[in-house]
Structure 1
Amino acid sequence: MSLYASRPGRLAGQLVGDLGVLLWIVVCGALGIVVDGAVAKLAGPARDTARTAQQLSGNFSDAAGSAAQVPGLGDQLRRPFDAASGTLGGLIETANRQADTIERVATLMGWLVFLIPVTVVLCFWLPRRIRFYRRAKAAQVFLDSAADLDLFALRALASQPMHVLARISPDPVTAWRGGDRTVINALAEVELARTGLRLPPELRAGA
């Protein structure tokens, strides 16, 4: 069973709608990536601070190692360098933690920018597409012989507006009861149009 109608007008509308939804998803995805990247850039200063502190900590560690080699005073001389290195270690950890938090927030915002508008559109679009598919599939099950056209004609008599029935026949009920295949054919085609289907050529010819 096709996911699309066989009638050109309905088919064109479905294709335009589906392409529009696809384009919307792509645009929202691109916007989410942009937002993610823009917010993630705010983590740059924290990362730079962590790298600078890491370099300074390495320099202090080297200085502490050099000071430790001074005979008799090595332990005392290296203490300030070790203290500075330890302080920088805390700064490095804090800066990296801040950068990680910013990047997680950036990822979350990017997903929200993508998911919220896409979900809203899908909530309107997807049920309509599913409803069409189910109706068309159910109709297709009964559309395999000329005798089945009576069912669609009966549904047309029960659901179509009076002016639509009047265009088909002055007395469509009598024609349906009498087995007028031309009227039954026309009624069935009107009903099938609601599901986006067309009367198969072989049934049209048989009717």
Structure 2
Amino acid sequence: MRLYAQDGRRRTRQVLGDVAVLVWVAGWLWVARWLHDLVARLGAPGRTLEDAGTSLRDSLGSAGESVSRIPLVGDEVRSPFDAAGGAAGSVAAAGVQVQDATARLALAVAVAVALGPVLVVLVAWLRARWAFARRAGAAARLVDSAADLDLFALRALATQPVTRLARVGDDPAGAWRRGDPAVVHALAALELRALGVRPPAAPDGRRVAADG
């Protein structure tokens, strides 16, 4: 397989196309990251709630530990502190849940926004590049010399635009049937260039313009 055409101009266009696809993907990834960070900011109240609940739970736990040392009534006095500490722990857990939900939402939004545009372009690009690589590779294997050009000349007569065929000659089909080597080469060159393969050297004798 050939990833790029042998013709310089077409190869340049392919490279620029590849770069454009990379820029497109990178741009949408940046947008996805920006949206992710934007939505993730909604989790700030959850972090505040977690910090406040954790701080209150620790303070109440320390206070309960201190009053538990009071002789005779220490355990009874500690019970309200333990209960309040448990409630503060629930507040901290709720803050964590808010942050987790926000993180999941941020990821879902980022993926939903960027996945479609990235996949559409990537799939189309990969299909086009794969098709070109297969066609160009197969054509390159078939073309070893000018003797292999008749097939491509016939294909050119069937597939190339009439305006391009007219540049080859007034009667390219008749010249092909007569086996005119210059016309056969010019027709084959049209098709090979369309496939991204450089045609072999033209035969000796008159030259016919193959492309404009």
Does TM-score exceed 0.5, indicating one fold?
yes
CA deviation profile, 1:114-157 (whole Å, cap 9, x unmatched): 32211121233222222211211121121112211111111122
Which has the higher mean CA deviation after the structures are superposed, 16-25 or 129-138? Answer: 129-138
Query: 1: CA distance between counterparts of 2:57 and 2:69?
Result: 19
Question: So what's the TM-score if we normalise by structure 1?
Answer: 0.89
Deviation (angstroms), 1:19: 1.0
> Size of the alignment, in residue pairs?
205
Alignment of 1:66 onto 2:60 = no
Number of the residue aligned with 1:141? 141
How far off is 1:166 after superposition?
3.3
Counterparts of 1:24-39 in structure 2, within 5 Å, are 24-39=24-39
Q: Does 1:168 align with 2:178?
A: no
- Residue 91 of structure 1 and its aligned partner are, at CA, apart by 1.2
Give the unaligned 5+ runs of structure 1.
none
Q: Are the aligned partners of 1:60 and 1:84 in contact in 2 as well (CA < 8 Å)?
A: yes
Partner Cα distance (1:148, 1:141) in 2:
10
Which residue does 1:16 correspond to in 2? 16
Aligned alpha-carbon RMSD (Å) = 1.9
**Structure 1 segment 51-62 matched on structure 2, within 5 A:** 51-62=51-62
Displacement of 1:87: 0.7
TM-score normalised to the size of structure 2?
0.87
C-alpha distance in 1, partners of 2:162/2:94? 76
- Give the match for residue 106 of structure 2: 106
Contact persistence 2:182–2:203 (CA under 8 A): no
Q: Which residue of 2 aligns with 1:77?
A: 77
Report % sequence identity. Answer: 41
Separation in 2 of the partners of 1:181 and 1:145? 12
Give 2:195's aligned residue: 195
